[in-house]
Structure 1
Amino acid sequence: MERNDDIQSVSSYTESEMEHNEDVQSLTSYSGSEYVSIDKNMLDELIQACQEFKKLKNIVKDSVMRLQDEITTIRKDLLILKASVKFGVALSEDEVNGDSCCLLADGQKTKEDNVSMFASQKTNVKLTDVVGLEAVKSALNMNIVLPTNFPKLFKDQCRPWKGILLYGPPGTGKSHLVKAIANEASKSTFFSLSASNIVSKWLGQSEQRVRQLFEQAKEKQPSIIFIDEIDSLCFARSENENDSTCCIKAELMVQMQAIEDDDKVIVVGATSTPWVLDSAFCRRFEKRYYVSLPNKDERTELIRLKLNKKKHNLTEKQIKSIASSTEGYSFHDLDILINDALGRPIRKITEATHFRQVNGPSGGGSVNTEQKLWAPCKSSDRGAKKISLRELGGVDFDVPTLTEEDVRTSLRSVAPKVKREELMKLMEFDRNFGSIE
């Protein structure tokens, strides 16, 4: 039995060895060309695998980038939502990331930053620098300057007015007057508001600006809020009125009504067309003052002031005569008139064909030294030289003296801008609603 098992074991080993030898013989039977064919197939499979891997890599990369974009969008949406909840209005991405935003990517902006567009730098203009308007200046001094600089005077007596309206023809110096008043009220913070810096294309932002402005005015009191051209914001109700303007007007009325007696905040409005104001809004202005066109004495004073330190030969009688000829002119019209007249001597230089040299003060301004200046002249004048302004180049000139004739010539080309119909409406409004001190 054991012998038979050994014989079977040997025979099975012999068969296995023979099979192995057959495999070796089959491998050694391949030729060289067959080996090359196998290697090429493997290389093609490897290249195909690399291409598939590259495609898979691009797919993963695109998926990661899309995921990053989605994360960025979600963050922006959360930022916009946070800003909208904070300020109670629906804000856009531009508002949140732009210059007029409420929140930035790195945190919150303060209310002061949001209202900085209304803060106005005070000028050096004083009430004494404002020509005429004595009655209005006195009233504003009583109602704005004194309560601001001397609040104890009003503590136990009357309360200061919270709303003052200035109305009158355009160019009469309403804005200039308010800035002078703000400068005199040295302890006050001055805010300037107009349609250009309050109206926004974004839903709800205009009302938000109004609210924040009044909040800042109360925080920084005593404050003066000046609303220029208030008629552009608060005109009477009509069927064509859009929702945005209606909301701004309503918010302004609410904020003005919310000014308490102990709040040191004064709202001053200015308009050239007070009759178009909403009646309910007009009532918010407790005092209303008419800023009229300058009278003859005021026009004389302004002309004299404009000619001060200018080269002219007008006598006091001639100045008064010119003032008499400018009835109906506003302060702005007179400023244009005198500036146009002062330019006429310069035109004589530009149009001249002949010049001559004359003695004049040195460029340094010393009265003891003189230099040669070129002056326009007639061809028949002694020392006349035919030469143009361009040929003379950068020499010093003796500018001709301003004469009454120059001013009269400008009078024929510079007309008053205020229409009689507007004046009649203003005077009627003054009779019905004006405050007489």
Structure 2
Amino acid sequence: MSKIFKKDENSDESQHLLLSGRSFFVGSSTSFTNDSERKLNTIAEGIVIVDKPALRWSDIIGLDAAKEDLKESLKLVTESPYILTDRVTPWNRILLFGPNGSGKTMLAKALATESEDTTYISVSSSEITTTYFKEPEKLVQNLFHLTRQHRPSILFLDEVDYLNQNDPNDQSGSTKRVRKEFMKQMLNFHSDSDGILLLATTNIPWTLDGNIINWFVKKLYIPLPGERARIDMFEFYLGDTSHSLTDDDLKRLGKEMTYVSGEDISSSVRDVLKKSAEVVHGATHFRRVVASPMTYPRHVVDDLWAPCPSNFPGAVESNWSDFPADKLYWPPISLSDLMHIL
């Protein structure tokens, strides 16, 4: 598996990297007091040190072309650098751009998970530019230093457009210094990038400076899912959840929901379930129903309890917590539920 710097990592190696001059967070020629070191460790947990991604290629529906491009790019950079020449530039600087929720970050995480013996370092550009630190440009210097030190490596810069934005509240000019240092490191990247794949994402590529865009040797557009992918996503996120959708309903969702992202589909199922839970948890009366329990969807039983109005025939005043979990009836998700949310 890829080597990951975790938030909860307490190993001697990770602590040394965080608090030494070779880490992302400390300038190589700067010494700090204990208070400064504690601040650095806090910033580390919030900006760069990431939990190990648990995402496989198979978890991402669609985007087959982008998956293959990323696989081949990493293989060329880490396994076959000898076939490259001065006239052939590897795809070691890739910009993923497209609508919000289309799967850009998921692709980066899956690449890290599937890459054997590769260090994965993830940083949000918005965190660097908005987090207070006395010398933010030192963070950028050591980020690239750490990436080189642990090659073969993948450096993932999320929301790279933040490096291009002016902050009216930045009286110290730290954002400008960060952006300037990034440009410097990007230029230096040409001369020392063996074994490194740099990925960046943005939802708004038109805001990027031309120099930043041209620096990336490959730009991959990550679109919203197509009709077939949308159907597959609805099926995937519904999973074993009780629902009344037919194949024709799923096809209708796939055909009509042309404007939704994979994140939208996932959220819609979650939101419907949340509303269903609110109905059950807020009910003051329940009635006995004949239906299939969530634990055994293919079986029909006659001892489930569903929320109902107080004047409904057979209503019993009670609270949801009075029933065993497997005896509560959760209304199945319907086509109209999803259409209403989306």
Report the secondary structure of 1:198's partner residue: helix
Question: Which of 380, 383, 393 is the equivalent residue of 2:322?
Answer: 393
Counting only pairs closer than 5 Å after superposition, residues 7-22 of structure 1 correspond to structure 2 as none
Report the secondary structure of 2:200's partner residue: strand
Question: Which of 229, 242, 249 is the equivalent residue of 2:159?
Answer: 229
Q: Which amino acid aligns with 2:329?
A: D
1:116-151 superposed Cα distances (whole Å, 9 cap, x missing partner): 95233332211121111122112111112x2366x1
* Same amino acid, percent of matched pairs: 26
Report the secondary structure of 1:329's partner residue: coil
Assess if the C-alpha contact under 8 Å between 1:358 and 1:375 holds in 2.
no
Task: Kindly state the Cα deviation for residue 229 of structure 1 after the two structures are TM-superposed.
Answer: 0.7
TM-score normalised by L of structure 1: 0.61
**Is 1:155 aligned to residue 82 of structure 2?**
yes
Assess if the C-alpha contact under 8 Å between 2:290 and 2:300 holds in 1.
no
Counting only pairs closer than 5 Å after superposition, residues 237-316 of structure 1 correspond to structure 2 as 243-259=173-189, 260=191, 263-316=194-247
Counting only pairs closer than 5 Å after superposition, residues 9-408 of structure 1 correspond to structure 2 as 87-88=28-29, 96=36, 98-100=38-40, 118-144=48-74, 146-147=75-76, 151-152=79-80, 154-157=81-84, 160-199=90-129, 200-203=131-134, 205-235=135-165, 243-259=173-189, 260=191, 263-349=194-280, 350-351=282-283, 353-356=285-288, 358=290, 372-376=303-307, 384-390=313-319, 393-395=322-324, 396-408=327-339
Assess if the C-alpha contact under 8 Å between 1:355 and 1:376 holds in 2.
yes
Assess if the C-alpha contact under 8 Å between 1:356 and 1:376 holds in 2.
no
CA spacing shift, 1:115–1:206, aligned 2, 3 Å: farther
CA spacing shift, 1:392–1:167, aligned 2, 3 Å: closer
Where structure 2 has 5 or more consecutive residues not aligned to the other structure, the ranges are 1-26
CA spacing shift, 1:98–1:313, aligned 2, 3 Å: closer
Report the secondary structure of 2:215's partner residue: coil
Report the secondary structure of 1:385's partner residue: coil
Assess if the C-alpha contact under 8 Å between 2:124 and 2:157 holds in 1.
yes
Q: Which residue of 1 aligns with 2:24?
A: none
Comparing 331-340 with 299-308, which one deviates more in the overlay?
A: 331-340
Report the secondary structure of 1:333's partner residue: helix
Task: Kindly state the Cα deviation for residue 375 of structure 1 after the two structures are TM-superposed.
Answer: 2.7
1:295-342 superposed Cα distances (whole Å, 9 cap, x missing partner): 211111100101111111211111111222211111122222222233
Report the secondary structure of 1:328's partner residue: coil
Find the structure with the greater CA-based Rg. Answer: 1
Task: Kindly state the Cα deviation for residue 114 of structure 1 after the two structures are TM-superposed.
Answer: 7.0
Report the secondary structure of 1:191's partner residue: strand
Assess if the C-alpha contact under 8 Å between 2:288 and 2:302 holds in 1.
no
Q: Which amino acid aligns with 1:183?
A: T
CA spacing shift, 1:388–1:262, aligned 2, 3 Å: same
RMSD: 3.6
Assess if the C-alpha contact under 8 Å between 2:47 and 2:127 holds in 1.
yes
TM-score normalised by L of structure 2: 0.76
Task: Kindly state the Cα deviation for residue 262 of structure 1 after the two structures are TM-superposed.
Answer: 5.8
Report the secondary structure of 1:208's partner residue: helix
Q: Distance in 1 between matches of 2:226 and 2:128?
A: 36
Q: Which amino acid aligns with 1:136?
A: A
Q: Distance in 1 between matches of 2:251 and 2:297?
A: 33
Q: Distance in 1 between matches of 2:254 and 2:291?
A: 34
- Any runs of at least 4 consecutive aligned residues in structure 1 with deviations exceeding 6 A, and if so which? 113-116, 365-371, 378-381
1:396-428 superposed Cα distances (whole Å, 9 cap, x missing partner): 3122222223323333xxxxxxxxxxxxxxxxx
Report the secondary structure of 1:155's partner residue: helix
Assess if the C-alpha contact under 8 Å between 2:243 and 2:332 holds in 1.
yes
Q: Which amino acid aligns with 1:179?
A: K
Where structure 1 has 5 or more consecutive residues not aligned to the other structure, the ranges are 1-85, 102-112, 412-437
CA spacing shift, 1:359–1:162, aligned 2, 3 Å: closer
Assess if the C-alpha contact under 8 Å between 1:118 and 1:197 holds in 2.
no
Assess if the C-alpha contact under 8 Å between 1:236 and 1:278 holds in 2.
no
Assess if the C-alpha contact under 8 Å between 1:115 and 1:209 holds in 2.
no
Q: Distance in 2 between matches of 1:131 and 1:345?
A: 27
Q: Which amino acid aligns with 1:98?
A: R
CA spacing shift, 1:172–1:115, aligned 2, 3 Å: same
Assess if the C-alpha contact under 8 Å between 2:244 and 2:332 holds in 1.
yes
Task: Kindly state the Cα deviation for residue 231 of structure 1 after the two structures are TM-superposed.
Answer: 0.6
Q: Distance in 2 between matches of 1:362 and 1:315?
A: 18
**May I ask how many residue pairs the two structures share in their alignment?**
307
